[in-house]
Amino acid sequence: MGIAVFDIDRFKHYNDTFGHIAGDEILKAVGRVLADENRAMNVVARYGGDEFVCVLSETGIEGVRHFVERVRGRIAENETLAKFGISISMGCAEFDPDKMASVNDVLRAADADMYEAKARRHVEIGAPPPRS
């Protein structure tokens, strides 16, 4: 089993700048992309204010990475998200029964991977890390 987590970068900024109706539009657009890219046997859920999680059954880490890259492309070409300049940070993890005791452990690993990606992007662009 693999898990992918997604965080809408600077979501609070979009809510404050464009209003909560626009924020809802952004959340719905991200949810549609995730649902469209997901297989019926998997689970997509909103996991907090601006985070989503996808549980990918029978999927190793390479499959999760492939899924995340596919989602990244769909996010970039989505008209609703493009008009707001939305970017999304993503993290991946695979359940390892030798190192993990529960689904919470794999979720924490995916979340840590996402925050590492945010930190790498921060260093690459030389700007403050995005706030959620």
Fold of 2-125: Alpha-Beta Plaits (3.30.70)
- Residues 37-83: pLDDT tens digits? 998 889 999 988 899 999 999 999 999 999 999 999 999 999 999 98
**Which is catalytic among the residues 7, 50, 111, 113?**
50
- Residues 4-26: pLDDT tens digits? 999 999 899 998 999 999 999 99
CA-CA distances (angstroms) from residue 71 to 32, 88, 104, 132?
A: 11, 10, 23, 19
Output the furthest CA–CA distance in the chain (Å, rounded).
46
Tell me the Ramachandran region of residue 106: left when phi exceeds 0, alpha when psi lies from -120 to 50, beta otherwise: alpha
**What's this model's pTM, rounded to 2 decimal places?**
0.85
50 is known as an active-site residue: yes
C-alpha angle 62-68-74 in degrees, rounded to nearest 5: 140
Structural domain spans, the chain:
2-125
